Amino acid sequence: MEFLLQSILNGILAGCIYALFAMGLTLIYGVLNFVNFAHGELIMWGAYFLYLLMEKPIGLPLFLAFIPALFFTMILGLGTDRFIFKPLRQANRLTLLIASLGLSFLLRNGAQFFWGAEIRTYGFEIKRGMRFWGVSITSNQVAIIIASVICIALLYLLFYKSRLGKSMRAVSDSLELARVVGINSRRTIQFTWVIASILAGLGGILLALDTNLQPGMGLINLVKAFAATLLGGVGNLWGALLGGIVIGLAENLGVLVISPGYKDAIAFGIMVLMLLVKPSVLFRNQE
Amino acid sequence: MDLFLHLCIMILIYIIFALSLNLEVGYTGLFNFGHVAFFGIGAYASALLTLHHVPFELSLLIALAMAGSWGFLLSLPSLRLRGDYFGIATLGFGEIIRMIFQNEVWLTKGPMGLPGISKPILFSYRFATLPQYFLLALGFAIITFLILRIILRSPFGRVLRAIREDEVATEALGKNVFRFRIKSFVIGSFFAGLAGTLWGHYITFISPGDFTLLETILVLLIIVLGGKGTEWGPVIGAVLLIFFQESLRFLRLPAEYTRYLAPLQQMIFGGLLVLLMIFRPEGIIKEKGKVENVRSETGQ
Amino acid sequence: MLEVKRVNKSFGGIRAVSDCTLGTKGYRITGLIGPNGSGKTTLFNLITGFLSLDKGEISFKGERINGYLPHHVAECGMVRTFQLARIFPKMTVLENMLLAPSHQTGERLWSLWLKRNRIREEERKNLVKALALINTVGLFHLRDQFAANLSYGQQKLLELARILMAEPEMILLDEPTAGINPSLIRKMMELILKMRDSGKVFFIIEHNMDVVIELCDWVFVLDNGEKIAEGKPKEIQNDPRVIEAYLGV
C-alpha cells in the first residue's frame, strides 16, 4: 500500500514536470500552429545550461545559477525562432517540420559535442527524504512541486488576466486578423517563445535535479510532452497540465505492472490508445 | 578498391532506403519520421532467421513481410492524424521499436546485439566477397528503382501525388484517400525492410544502437538534398551523403579527438537539413512544376 | 434524385443547419441561395459526406447516403466542386483531368503487374476523352501547363471539366461564378446548360441572381440554417421573406 502511495506521489511529481513541458509545447503550437520538434532540446539545454553554470570553472550555487540558465534557454529559444522559424513562416508544413527535426538533431549533438554522451548529475548528495504517511519525499522534490505550482499560477495570470495573454490568444486564433486589429504579432510571437523556452528550461532543470542529464533526454520527453498535449487537447493550457499529470501517474503506476525498460514507452502507448479511441479531435482537416 | 566497393555497397543500400521513404514523403506527402523502424525490423528479422539456419531466400521474404505488416499495423491508427501529429506518432514509433530491440533480450540479445550474421546465399550462390555483395546490392537496387518507378508513373502514383497536393479534392473525386495512404506506407516499409536486410547481412553485426533517429535524419537528408518527389533525387542524395559519411570514418584522427567526430558529423547533418529547408527546400533536382510563389498549403 | 430530410447540424452551440428538408424532385437544375453564413456550404458538406450530420436523412437515387465517406458518395455518382477552386497545382491540366474517372484499373496495385494492357488501353481512352473535354472548355492550349499557372477563371473551368470527366449523374456546384469575370461567367453558364441537355442534374449554390434566374428550374432559400422559401426563381426574387433575409439583420 505504501508502495502504491509512493508511486502515486512520484507520478504527480513527474506529472508536474511533464505539465511544464506540455504547456510550453502547446503554447508554441497554439500561437504558431506547428509542433516544434526541437522543444525537447530546449528542455535538455536548459538542464545543461544550469550544469555549465554550476560546474567549475564557474561554480555558482543552484539558487544563483538557475536564473541565468533560464535566461540562456530563453535566448536559445528566441534565436531558433529568429533564425530558423521566422524565415519559414510561409513555408509549407513539411519544410517546417523537417527544419525543426534537423534543428533538434543539431542541438542534441551540440550538447553531446560539448559534454559527451555520458550521464551526468548536478552532484547533489542523495538526501534522505522526509516521511509522511509512509511515503518519502525529498526537499528537492518539494521544491519541484512548489516551482511547478507557482509557474502554473503565473501562467494563468498571464494568459487570462493580462493584455499580453489576450494578444497571445488572439494571435493563436488568427494571425492575420490579429495583425489587422493592431496586435503586434511579432512581439506576441517573441513573447510566446520566451515563455515556452522558460517553461522548457525550468522543466528540464527540475527533471535533471530529480533524475539526471544526458543529451538524448530531449527526444523522449518531446514524445511525452506531445502525448500530454494530445490528452488535454492541443492548444489548451489546462489540458496540457492535466495531461502531464496523467502521463506522470500512468508511468509510475504502470511500471508496477510492466517491465521498467518500457517506462518511457507508456506515454507513447497512451497516445496510441487515445488515437484509437478518440480520433475525431485529430482528424485530418475536414472541410 | 576495397574502399571503393564498400562505399558503393553502402550507397546502394541507402539508395533503396531513400527511395522507399521518398515514396511516402516525397510523393504521397506523409511525414514519416520513424522510417528507421522498418529498416531495423528487416535487419533483425532476417538476421535472427538466418542465425537459426533458415535459408536466406526464405528469411528475406519473411523479413520483408514483417516490415510490410508492421507498416500496415502502424499506419492503421496513425494515418487518421494530421501531418504534424502523424510525424510525432511515427517518430515515437521509431523510438519504441528501438526500445523493443533493446529490452527483449531473449529475442534480440538486447544491447549486446547479434554478431556473426552470415553472408547471404541466394539460390546456391554465396555473396561473400565484396564484389559479390556489390552485385547483390546493385541487383536489388535496380529492381527497387524499377518497381517504384512503375508504381510512381502509373495512375496509382498519380493519385498519390494528388493526395499530396490536395487530399480533400482527391477524396471528392471518389478516391479512398485513406486506403491509398496505407498502401503507400506499406510499400515504403516493405522496401525499407529490404534495405535493412541487405545492411544487416553486409556488416554482419547489428545492435539496437544502429537504429536510432540518426538513420531517419540521414535518410530524410538524402531525399531532401537530392530532391524529394523526383526519381533520381534519392540516388544523388545517397551518393553525396554516404560518400561524406563513410569518408569521415576513415579519417585518421588522434585518439583524443575521435569522440568529437560523431557528434560533429551529426551536427553537420542537422545543420545541413536546417539550411536546406531555409534556402533550398527543393534540393538538387527540382521537382517539375515548382512554381516559385505558390502559396503555402492552406488548411492542413 | 437527391432528398434531404430534416437534417440538423450544430457546431458547439451553433446551429449551422436546422431541420432542413428539400429535394431536387425532377428538376434538372436546382438552386440554393441565401445570405452569407446561412449554411449552404455546410449543407453541401453534409450531403457529400465531408461532415457528419447530427440528425436527419439524406438519400440519393433512393439510396440512403448519410454516413458515407466522401469518396463513396462520389462513387455513387454525385460529384462536387468547392467554393475556392480545388485543382492540383503541381500537376498539369491534363493530369488533373486524368485523375477524374473512377475505378481506373491502373489505380489498383496488383493490376500494375497483371493487367498492363488493359491499363494502357484505359489511359489512352481517357486521354482522348480528356483532350476533347479540355477543348470544349477552351483550355486545349494549356493542357501541359501546371494548374497553378492558370488564372483563377481558368482553374474554375478546369474544375468543371474535370467533373465532367468523372461522368457523374449529379453535380453539386458551390458558387461556380464567384470571382470570375463576366465573359467567363457566360461561358460557364453555356457549359452548364449544355451538360444539362445531355442529361446531367445540377444542384447549385449561387449568389449571382442573374445566373440563378437564367439557369435554375427551382430554387431553395436558406437563412440561418433554415429553409425559408422555395419556388421558381422569379417568384423567389419577389418573395418578401427572401428579400428580408438578404436585407435584414
For residue B25, the enclosing domain spans: 2-212
Give the nearest chain C residue to B177 (CA atoms).
Answer: C71
Which residues touch B35 (CB under 8 Å, ≥6 apart)? B17, B20, B21, B24, B90, B94, B188, B189, B192, B215, B216, B219
- Three cell numbers, residue B54: 533458415
Over pLDDT 70: what percentage of chain A?
A: 90
The per-residue pLDDT for range C56-76, each reduced to its tens digit, is: 899 998 888 888 899 999 999
Q: What is the pLDDT of residue A271?
A: 80
pLDDT grade for A285, boundaries at 50, 70 and 90: very low
Other Cβ atoms within 10 Å of A135 Cβ, number: 17
Query: What's the distance, CA B250 to chain centroid?
Result: 24
CA distance C155 to C147: 7
Residue by residue, what is the 3-state secondary structure of chain B? CHHHHHHHHHHHHHHHHHHHHHHHHHHCCCCCCCCHHHHHHHHHHHHHHHHCCCCHHHHHHHHHHHHHHHHHHHHHHHCCECHHHHHHHHHHHHHHHHHHHHHCHHHHCHHHCECCCCCCEECCEECCCHHHHHHHHHHHHHHHHHHHHHHHHCHHHHHHHHHHHCHHHHHHCCCCHHHHHHHHHHHHHHHHHHHHHHHHHHHCCECHHHCCHHHHHHHHHHHHHHCCCCCCHHHHHHHHHHHHHHHHHCCCCCHHHHHHHHHHHHHHHHHHHHHHHHHCCCCCCCCCCCCCCCCCCCCC
Q: Is residue B277 part of a domain?
A: no
Say whether residue C149 is in contact with chain B using an 8 A CB cutoff: yes
Residue B20 carries which side chain, given as an amino acid letter? S
Does B169 sit within 8 Å of C82, measured CB to CB?
yes
Looking at the domain assignment, is residue B254 inside a domain?
no
Residue B94 lies in a domain: yes
Query: Given pLDDT bands bounded at 50, 70 and 90, which one contains residue B293?
Result: very low
- Greatest CA separation for chain A: 59
| Among the ranges given (A103-107, B66-70, C204-208), the one the predictor scored with the smallest mean pLDDT | C204-208
For residue A285, the chain C residues in CB contact (below 8 A) are none
Which residues of chain B are within 8 Å of residue C75 when distances are taken between CB atoms? 174
CA distance C246 to C241: 9
**Interchain CB distance below 8 Å, A282 and B102:** no
Asked if pLDDT for residue B290 goes beyond 80, the answer is no
Out of A99, A105, A275, the one facing B78 most closely (by C-beta) is A275
Give domain limits for chain C: 2-84+166-247, 88-149
Closest CA of chain A from B205, distance in Å: 22
Burial-class residue B124 by CB neighbours within 10 Å (0-12, 13-18, 19+): exposed
pLDDT at residue B35, rounded to an integer: 94
Record the cell numbers describing residue A93, joined without a space: 508544413
CA neighbor of B75 nearest in space, from B216, B179, B166: B179
Q: Kindly report the number of other CB atoms within 10 A of residue B74's CB atom.
A: 24
Instruction: Determine, for residues A275 and B300 on separate chains, whether the beta-carbon distance falls below 8 Å.
Output: no
Option in B150, B159, B168 nearest C86 (CB): B168
CA distance B10 to B284: 21
CA atoms of B82 and A97, how far apart (whole Å): 13
Residue B99 near chain A (CB below 8 Å): yes
**3-class state of residue A125 by DSSP:** coil
Residues B261, B30 contacting (CB under 8 angstroms): no
Q: Is the pLDDT of residue B300 over 90?
A: no
pLDDT, position C237: 81
The structural domain count of chain B equals 1
Question: Which tens digit of pLDDT belongs to each residue from A265-275?
Answer: 888 888 877 76
CA pair distance A68, A66, nearest whole angstrom: 6
- Reading the block at residue C124, the C-alpha cell is 489512352
- Is the CA virtual torsion A49, A51, A57, A60 positive or negative? positive
> B25 near B32, Cβ under 8 Å?
yes
pLDDT tens, position by position, C61-114? 888 888 889 999 999 999 999 988 899 998 999 999 999 998 888 888 888 888
Domain membership of residue B184 (yes or no) is yes
For B220, which residue in chain A has the nearest alpha carbon?
A: A98
- State the nearest Cα–Cα gap between B229 and chain A, in angstroms: 13
CA angle C71, C74, C77 (to 5 degrees): 155
Q: What is the pLDDT of residue A278?
A: 62
The enclosing H or E element of A135 equals strand A135-137
Strand partners, C31: C204, C219
Domains located in chain A, CATH noted = 2-120+129-282 (1.10.3470)
Block residue for cell numbers 516490415: B67
Inspect the interface and report whether the beta carbons of C80 and B172 lie closer than 8 Å. Answer: yes
- Could you tell me which CATH number the domain at C2-84+166-247 has? 3.40.50.300
Predicted local distance difference test score (pLDDT) of residue B260? 84
pLDDT of amino acid C207:
85
| Environment class of A136 (CB within 10 Å of its CB; exposed 0-12, middle 13-18, buried 19+) | middle
Q: Using the predicted structure, report yes or no on whether residue B11 has a pLDDT greater than 80.
A: yes
Q: What is the pLDDT of residue A139?
A: 78
Residue A142 has pLDDT above 90, yes or no: no
Helix (H, G, I), strand (E, B) or coil at A136: strand
Percent share of chain C, pLDDT over 90? 27
Question: Which residue, A28, A244, A29, A45, is CA-closest to A148?
Answer: A244
Inform me whether the C-beta atom of residue C74 falls under 8 Å from chain B C-beta atoms: yes
pLDDT at residue B27 in the model? 93
Residue B296 clears pLDDT 90, i.e. is over it: no
What is the 3-state composition of chain A as percent helix, strand, coil, each rounded to the nearest 5? 75, 5, 20
Of all residues in chain C, the one with the smallest CA distance to B293 is: C148
Instruction: Report pLDDT digits (tens) over A85-110.
Output: 999 988 888 899 999 999 999 999 99
For A18-28, what is each residue's pLDDT tens digit?
Answer: 999 999 998 88
> C112, C121, C126, C170: best mutation site toward chain B, by most B Cβ within 10 Å?
C112
**Inter-chain residue contact B213 with A275, CB threshold 8 Å:** no
CB proximity C51 to B under 8 Å: no
C97/chain A closest Cα distance in angstroms? 23
CB contact under 8 A, A223 and B91: yes
Chain C: partners with 3+ C-beta pairs within 8 Å: A, B
The average pLDDT across C171-190 equals: 88
Contact B297 A93 (CB under 8 A): yes
| Helix, strand, or coil (residue A115) | helix
CB contact under 8 A, B155 and C107: yes
Average pLDDT of span B33-58: 91
Mean pLDDT to the nearest integer, A135-152:
83
| Residue B42 predicted with pLDDT over 90 | yes
Write the pLDDT tens digit of every residue in A48-71: 999 999 887 788 888 888 899 999
Point out which residues pair with A156 in neighbouring strands. none
Question: C114 and chain B: CB distance < 8 Å anywhere?
Answer: no
Q: Report chain A's C-alpha Rg in angstroms.
A: 19
Percent of chain B residues topping a pLDDT of 90: 55
Summarize the confidence of residues C226-232 as an average pLDDT. 87
- Chain C residues near residue B290 by CB distance under 8 angstroms: 90
Neighbours of chain B (3+ CB pairs under 8 A): A, C
**Residues C190-210: what's their mean pLDDT?**
89
Rounded to 10 degrees, the C-alpha dihedral A94/A100/A101/A102 comes to 110
Cell numbers describing residue C195? 451538360
> Which three-class secondary structure string do you get for chain C?
CEEEEEEEEEECCEEEEEEEEEECCCCCEEEEECCCCCCHHHHHHHHCCCCCCCEEEEEECCEECCCCCHHHHHHCCEEECCCCCCCCCCCEHHHHHHCCCCCCHHHCCCHHHHCHHHHHHHHHHHHHHHHHHHHHCCCHHHCCCEHHHCCHHHHHHHHHHHHHHCCCCEEEEECCCCCCCHHHHHHHHHHHHHHHHCCCEEEEECCCHHHHHHHCCEEEEEECCEEEEEECHHHHHHCHHHHHHHHCC
Q: Which chains pack against A, by 3+ Cβ pairs within 8 A?
A: B, C
Pair B47, B199: CB distance under 8 Å = no
Q: What is the pLDDT of residues B196-237, one digit of tens each?
A: 999 999 998 998 988 988 889 999 999 999 998 899 999 999
Interface test with B, best of C87, C90, C121, C159 (most B CBs within 10 A): C90
Does some domain include residue B265? Answer: no
pLDDT higher than 70, residue A287: no
Using a CB–CB cutoff of 8 Å, tell me whether C50 touches chain A. Answer: yes
Q: Which residues of C touch B161 (CB under 8 A)?
A: 88, 90-91
**Percent of chain C whose predicted confidence (pLDDT) is above 70:** 99
Cα of A103 to nearest chain B Cα, Å: 6
Can you read off the three cell numbers belonging to residue C91? Answer: 500537376
Give contacts of C109 with chain B, Cβ < 8 Å.
151, 156, 183, 187
The answer to pTM > 0.95 is no
Q: Confirm if A132 and B69 have CB atoms less than 8 A apart.
A: no
Backbone dihedral angles phi then psi of residue B206, each to the nearest 5 degrees:
-125, 150
Residue C51: list chain A partners with CB under 8 A: 286-287
